[in-house]
């Protein structure tokens, strides 16, 4: 079985989300901060009249990387349970076609139950971590 993923960079790491969960990709928009939000939640954006919560991928996935206000970021709009969420990424790369032979369960690779990684995709020499949208969004979804 083949499926498509949207790939993106957060820091030096390449990640992906199944295209069926991605509604769109938008350039960075002004974020309205909301007091007392959980770690990783930056606030909300107004996207074409719709208020959408936004999570910073650097804070959520890479504890060593702090948010960098000067980076040229994009927002991946994810649809989960009929609700939209924004994930701030450093750069959206491409859409890849992935077949089952190229995707290995993350538990098989590292023998641990990883919260956010669903599979490891091997495309040529590159490895891409396929993320679970529900785990990235965690308690916010």
Q: State yes or no: pLDDT of 136 exceeds 60.
A: yes
CA 48 distance to own-chain centroid: 21
42 neighbors 88 (Cβ within 8 angstroms) = yes
Of the ranges 1-5, 38-42, 66-70, 123-127, which one carries the lowest mean pLDDT score?
66-70
Domains of the chain: 2-140 (2.40.50.180)
- Tell whether the model's pLDDT for residue 69 goes beyond 70: no
Predicted local distance difference test score (pLDDT) of residue 24: 97
pLDDT surpasses 60 at 111: no
50-56 and 83-89 beta bridge pairing: parallel
Whether the model clears a pTM of 0.75, i.e. scores above it, the answer is yes
Mean pLDDT over 100-117 rounds to 71
């Amino acid at each position: 079985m083949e499926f498509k993923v949207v790939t993106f960079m957060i820091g030096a790491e390449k990640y992906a989300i199944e295209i069926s969960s991605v509604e769109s990709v938008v350039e960075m928009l002004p974020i309205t901060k909301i007091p007392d939000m959980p770690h990783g939640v930056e606030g909300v954006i107004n996207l074409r009249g719709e208020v959408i919560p936004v999570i910073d991928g650097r804070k959520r996935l890479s504890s060593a990387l702090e948010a960098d206000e000067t980076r040229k970021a994009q927002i991946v709009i994810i649809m989960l349970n009929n609700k939209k969420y924004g994930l701030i990424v450093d750069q959206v790369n491409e859409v890849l076609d992935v077949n089952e032979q190229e995707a290995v369960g993350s538990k098989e690779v590292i023998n641990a139950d990883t919260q956010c990684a669903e599979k490891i995709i091997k495309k040529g020499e590159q490895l891409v971590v396929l993320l679970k949208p529900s785990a990235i969004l965690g308690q916010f979804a």
